[in-house]
Each structure stands twice: as structure tokens, then as C-alpha cells.
Chain A
Amino acid sequence: MLDFPRWKTIGISIILLLGILFSIPSFLPEKTRDSLPSFLQAKVNLGLDLAGGSHLLLEADIADLRKTQLANMEKTVRAAMRGESGADDDIAIGELSTAGGKISFLVRDLAKLDEARERLFNETRGAQLTGQRDWTVTVVNSTRIEMTPTGAGQAQAVANAMDTARDIIDKRVNALGTREPTIIREGTDRVVVQVPGLQDPAALKELIGKTARLEFRMVDANADPAEAAAGRVPVGSEIVPYAEGEGSGAAFEVLRRQVMISGEQLIDAKQSYDPQNNQPVVSIRFDSGGSSTFAKVTAQSVGKRFAMVLDGKVLSAPSINEPILGGSAQISGSFSVASANALAISLRSGALPVKMTVVEERTVTPELGADSIRKGAIAGIIATVSVLVLMIVVYGRFGVYACVALVFNVFLIIAVMAAFNATLTLPGIAGFVLTIGAAVDANVLINERIREELKRGRKVFQAVELGYSEASRAIFDANVTNVIAAALMFWFGSGPIKGFAVVLTIGIVTSVFTAVTVTRMFVAHWLRTKRPTSINI
């Protein structure tokens, strides 16, 4: 056991050197690290609790999504009943109800009942190849058609909405220009957003939560303001309130329900300045469809007013002085540069398909994080040094070997964490302490066993060999159980517990390697070259 073949020594040395090499980038300041070759760029990321930053957990409002889904299906049904080839093709239907999460309506012309069902069948075929329908279409009492969303269809709708929501949030957060944000889906209806080093979580929340549904609608010129104030408006129009601080006195506008141009027809939005008064505005550009609609409508309605509506609130309702042909417009309002920029970002990235609410928020200020790291590092060094001193005082030469192995262990843990791009959090540090403790304990076990075997009168070589082999069994069992615990924590635990489990698993492997294999290499080398007849342990 104590003869150590050369290849083994070389192998262990290479692992140790690689460990040091790959742990270096994590200690370097960012600038220095950037100048290193690409394979040395990997480093340990510091969790938000240490580095500072914001963590948001967003949950989709599924009820809201179902409502939208229902409203969309209502539109689809009406369109399908209208038919493609003129008035002959129409199927007349009675009042359509969406109560109880299902669509139900009367088909007036009973002869066309089957055709109506056929058309709806085509509209509700599932997007996937499973043959599962998104909606079931049934005929009730031979007069009514009832449509209910299927479980598969609903799950698919949620999944699609969540994917889109994630992408949109990603775009919005990235547009902020912060460093390495993480945006991932979690579970069926959640998105985690982590932005390191962010100073202003409120702005982030607002940006993410923005629905940013932009609509251009005509102002109903026929509406009587007095009637409207009492809540009575012409058919096909509705009252839309002004956004806070807009409208210069007016509380609302009466707008046509029909949407002239919607936000989907935008191709670009950016913050700029109004050339007349230098106020921040948002400049937008429409796609070709949007441009031609805009040109047509404005040409027809010179002298009338249209309104820009954002999230159901009127921003402004300017008069059309001349046809706008270029396909671009300016949204003005009481914007600051920052709020105009935020609006531009949300317009660019599109509207969230589903309302998202923040269900968990954690923000650590960077100063606090930096303070924790500095103090933590100092305390860690003092703690390690005192343990090292204790080991040397108690075990002499063997203690020195254990210490060297322990230092290697620290490098190896950091190197492996960097290679996996793992994140070090506060609980991770606890895992770190535990593995260091386990490494110390392994050496204590080995050295105590060697003492014991010497006391029993064994020769030096035999005592050392027995010390390692007998102690290894307990070390092995202890560490396997810890790995079992770590694996279970990783599977079932949430955030911080996972962070703990990752460090613990990595640390256990490296601790056993350094505390047992590496020290044995040192001891074997020393025994072979010096051939001592007695040892001081």
C-alpha cells in the first residue's frame, strides 16, 4: 500500500496542479481574468446573497390566461361562423355565452348545425401530433354548441404562454444592460429572474410586470361629453380613462371599440426627443401592414382625433392634421428619459401573454454583499489557520501533510465549482465548512489510528499502513452517507438547500481525495526516502 507507483504520483500531481490552475481565475479581479485564455475564464459565481443583486420569482396568473384563451376562442368562433365566401356562407348564431369557462351558443339555422360543428372542429385541432384536441365541441339539445377546453389544450396553452413570457422577460431584462442576468422557467407556471449587482429592484419589477399593450383607436367625435360623463356612450364606443398626469384636465375619452393599429404591428420603438419642446418621447415604427392602415385611416380622418392607448389608459389623443404616410409616429406623454426608455423596451419586446405577479423577492445590496465577503474571507482564513496550527501542534510532520492536503482541497473545491459554473451562496459556505471539517476529521482518524497501532507495538511501516486502511473504512462510510444526504437535498430541496448540496457533494469527493490519497502520497514518499525506525506522531 505504501509503495506508490510513479504513474500514480504523476497522476495525483497533475490533478493537484490542474486544481490550482483552474481555481486561480476565481481569485482574480475581472479585468485580469478577461486577459486570460478562454479555457481559464470559468470562475465560481457568487450567489446574490453574497454578491448583491435581485432575485425575483414570478408566477403566472393562470386564471387570467384562461380568460384570454376564452376571449380568443370567442373571436375564433365568430370568425369561423362568418364564413369565407361572402354572406351566403354565414351561419347565424344566437347570444354567445362564456360563463363557467366554456363557450355556448345557439345555432339559428338548424340545417347548418353540422357544418358549424365541422368548422369548429378544424379550428380546435391540437397543435401537437398526439391527436388530442384543444377544445371539445359538443352539440347539446340539437340546437346549441358547447365548447370546453381540454386538459391537454390548457396545459399546452400554459406552456406556450410561459415560454413566450420567459423570452419577453429575457429581452426586457437584457435591454437593461445588466451583467449576466439569469432568467429561467421553473415548474409549470413560474419564472425566476436573477440580476446580480442591480441597484434598483423596483424598476426591474416594473419593467418585467409591464403588460405594454399599445393600441391606436379613433376618438368618437359623435359622443356627447355630458352623456358620456353619465356613462352613456354610442354603440361601438367606450369610455377609456386617461393615464395619470395626462389629458390636461380631461379624465377620459370616448373611443371607438375597434382597434385601428395594435402593438403587434410595431417593428421598432425607441426613446428620443420631441424636436419641438425637447421632451422625451418614444418613437415607433410600424410594419408595412400597420403603415398602410395608418396612412389610410389618417388620410380619411383629417381633422379628427385618434388616441394612443397603453394598457387600457389613454396617453394622448392628438388631432390628425395631415395624413401620416411614413409609417412612424411619436408617443408623447409626461415621460422622463428613463420611463420613455422603459416603455420603448416593453413595446419592443411585445406584450406579456399572461399577467405575472412577483411571489418572492430577495434583494441584497452590493455593499452588504461585499462586506459579508470581506469579513467572511478574513474569518475563513483565521479559522483555517487556527485549525492548521492545531493539526501541526498535535500531529507534527503528519499534521503538516494534512495541512498541505487541506489547502489543496480548498483549491480543488473552487476549481471543480468553477468548472461546473456553480454558484457559491451563504449555505454553500456552510457546506464548505462541513467538508473542511470532514477532511480534518479524516486526517484525525488516520493519525489517531497510526498512534494506536504504534502503541500496540507495530513497526512504523505496518502502523502507517494499518492506520490508512483501517481508518479508510469509517471515512468511506461517513462520506457515502453524506453524499446520500446531499443527493436527496439536491432533488427535493429548494434554492439555498440546493446550493448547500452542490458544495457538499463536490467537497466530499475532493476531501476524501486530498485527506486520504494525497496525504498518503506524502507519507509514502517520506517513509521510502528516510526509512525512519520511529515516528513522532
Chain B
Amino acid sequence: MRLLKLVPDDTNIDFLRWRKVASFMSFFLVAVSIALVAVKGLNLGVDFVGGQSVRVEFTQGMPPIDEIREKVGDIGLGEATIQQFGSDKAVSIRTALPDGDKAAAERAGQQLVSGIQKAFPTAKAGSVETVSGKVSGELIRTGAISLGLAILGISIYIWIRFEWQFGVGALGRLFHEVSLTFGLFAVTQMQFDLNSVAALLTIVGYSLNDTIVVYDRIRENLKKYRKMEIVPLLNLSINETLSRTVMTTVAMVLALGMLLIFGPDVIFGFTAAMLFGVFIGGYSSVLMSTPVLVWLKVGPHSFVPRTTAGMDGGERVERKDDGAVV
């Protein structure tokens, strides 16, 4: 049986030639993402702003969004945010935290459901979420802390296992990925809630996996080819890992694409965000996380113990077991 090769053997593409363009692109996209979040804002779910949200399913044809908005407005809980799910039958209706005491907030969820049931007798108003302002504040804080610490902890590990330049590279890349994903949420106005944080963390995990694979190969080649210039060496490493990068990306796109098409609509936003993360992950592996190493002046000396650096720094060292323990 002839096996499929996604990438031809012995590619020798000069990826680093585009490093300036790519870096500019990355900076540009990060800046645009931050600006988008600042200008358009995120469509924060009840998890993060408080309030109540009800998922309503229209089994017998959905009325126009404007009609829903108007009728929900009549309930008296302020203006509603209405979000359509993947399917054309269900919407999520969200209203802001009511003024007044805690008891008012407690009742609001129930009020919203019964109001909707009265306005649309054929609709099924099932899942309700009510979050108070205090709790939503805490959720934002713990979400941000866990995301921040995860990124930091990972970078420190990479710094210890590799070199500081690699740690900085990983940190930069994770920042890049997270910013772009936030940008995606700002552009599409998909609801950003705790599940989105989990999606973000998944993207961080995946992107990290990618970074390490490429960095591991760079580390290996740095030990192997002491004399090689850094740019050709990075190009070589990217080319050597290219078939793996492509294969893994294809596998992930395939899996997530299926989840997107056939999966339940509750995970639609989540899957879409992850799919996006896989695409930028592929791009970053090749064109973003390696140029950082050029600027930070990574060289063969990065992996040689200080005392022996001068001794065999110049000569070609045969590849030998580097004693890595797995």
C-alpha cells in the first residue's frame, strides 16, 4: 500500500526569509486584536457581567430577532442581548443584573422565564443561568489568574528545560495566540464565558505543544551542527518538523471540523475558537516562534556548559547520545 505523504520529502523552504513580514504581521494582528477588544468589547456572558440568561428553543419556527427583543423588553428587565446558537431554532436571551437588593436578583431569572413563556407559548425556555455581580467579579478574577499563571508557569519550565530565549519565545507566542483569540471573540461577538476560558486554555495547551516540538528540534540541531549559522539552522529545523506540523494540524482540523458540523450547538463557539487556535498555531509554529530566537541571539553556546564552551565551541561535534531522560 502506498502511503499518503502530506508534505514531500526534504523540503528546503527558506521560511526565515519572511520573518520580517511575519513579525510585522503578528505585531499588527496583536495590535488590531487589542484595539478590537478595546473598541468593540467582548460580548461577555453572565459568568462575567452577572445577570440572567435563558436558552429558548423555538420548536415551531423562530420569530424574527427584533420581535423577540421587543417582547423580552416588555418583561421589564431592561434591554436583552439575544444571541443565536449554531442552529436556527435556539437563541440565548440575556438581560442585565436588575437594580435593587439581592432578592430582586434572585427573582429576575424566574421572571425572565415566565415572561418568555407568556410571550412565546410554543417556545421551550429551559436552561437558566443567574449570576450575581459579586460572583461574576470573582469568576473574572479567578479566570484571569489561572490563565495568567498557566502562561507564566509554562514559560518558566521552558526556560529551565531549554534556555531563557526559548522561555521568552514561548511567552511571546502564548501572548500572541491569546490576543488573537480575544480578537476573534471581539470580531464575531461570540459570547465570552467560562467555557470560552477553557477554550482559550486549550489553545494555550495546543500551541505550547507545537512550540516545544519545534524548539526541541532546534535544541537538538544546535548541539548537532555547532558551526551552522543560526538562520539556516532554524530553517532546517522548521523544514524537518514541517511534515509533523502539517500532519498534526490536519488531524486537529479534521477532528474539530467534525465537532463543528455534527456537534451540539452548546459547544459551537467553543469548537470554533479551538479551530481558529489550531490555524494560528500552525502559522506561529512556522513563522512566529522561531524568528524570536534570531532576535534573542540564540546560538550553539546556549547549550554548552560554560566551562567547556571555549574548548569545543568551534569544532563540529558528532551527534552522540545527549543523555536526555524520558
Q: Which segment, of B16-24, B75-83, B154-162, B299-307, faces chain A?
A: B154-162
B31 to chain A, nearest CB (A): 26
CB nearest to B5 among chain A residues: A394
Does B263 reach chain A (CB closer than 8 Å)?
Answer: yes
Asked whether A481 lies within 8 Å of B212 as measured between CB atoms, the reply is yes
Q: Which among B55, B243, B254 is the interface contact of A383 at CB below 8 angstroms?
A: B254
Asked whether B264 lies within 8 Å of A482 as measured between CB atoms, the reply is no
Q: Which segment, of A113-121, A211-219, A282-290, A352-360, faces chain B?
A: A352-360
Asked whether A474 lies within 8 Å of B103 as measured between CB atoms, the reply is no
- Given contact pairs A363-B129, A393-B3, A394-B4, enumerate 15 new A-B contacts (beta carbons under 8 Å): A49-B266, A382-B262, A390-B250, A394-B247, A396-B1, A426-B267, A437-B252, A448-B244, A470-B220, A472-B326, A485-B150, A485-B153, A485-B154, A493-B146, A495-B194
Tell me the chain B residues, 290-326 only, with Cβ under 8 Å from chain A: 324, 326
CB nearest to B152 among chain A residues: A488
Cα A104 to Cα B257 with chains together (Å): 71
Interface residues of chain B: helix, strand, loop or mixed (majority): helix
B52 to chain A, nearest CB (A): 8
Asked whether B251 lies within 8 Å of A444 as measured between CB atoms, the reply is yes
Cα A491 to Cα B255 with chains together (Å): 30
Q: Which among A57, A382, A391, A504 is the interface contact of B205 at CB below 8 angstroms?
A: A504
A188 to chain B, nearest CB (A): 13
Cα A376 to Cα B271 with chains together (Å): 12
Q: Which among A363, A430, A437, A473 is the interface contact of B255 at CB below 8 angstroms?
A: A437
CB nearest to B220 among chain A residues: A470
13 cross-chain CB contacts under 8 A? A357-B106, A358-B130, A360-B130, A360-B135, A363-B126, A372-B266, A379-B264, A383-B262, A390-B250, A440-B252, A441-B251, A485-B201, A537-B3
Which A residues touch B9, using CB under 8 A? 455
In this complex, how many residues of chain A approach chain B with their Cβ under 8 Å: the count is 84
Q: Which among B135, B201, B244 is the interface contact of A445 at CB below 8 angstroms?
A: B244
Does A296 reach chain B (CB closer than 8 Å)?
Answer: no
Does A201 reach chain B (CB closer than 8 Å)?
Answer: yes
Tell me the chain A residues, 438-497 only, with Cβ under 8 Å from chain B: 438, 440-441, 444-445, 448, 451-452, 455, 469-470, 472-478, 480-482, 484-485, 488-489, 491-497
Q: Which of B131, B256, B262 has its CB near the most chain A CB atoms (within 10 A)?
A: B262
A-B pairs with lowest CB-CB distance, top 8: A365-B126, A427-B198, A474-B216, A379-B263, A472-B326, A379-B262, A383-B258, A375-B264
Q: Which segment, of B61-69, B137-145, B183-191, B227-235, faces chain A?
A: B137-145
Q: Which of B1, B10, B198 has its CB near the most chain A CB atoms (within 10 A)?
A: B198
Does B128 reach chain A (CB closer than 8 Å)?
Answer: yes
Cα A44 to Cα B194 with chains together (Å): 22
Does A89 reach chain B (CB closer than 8 Å)?
Answer: no
Which B residues touch A371, using CB under 8 A? 264
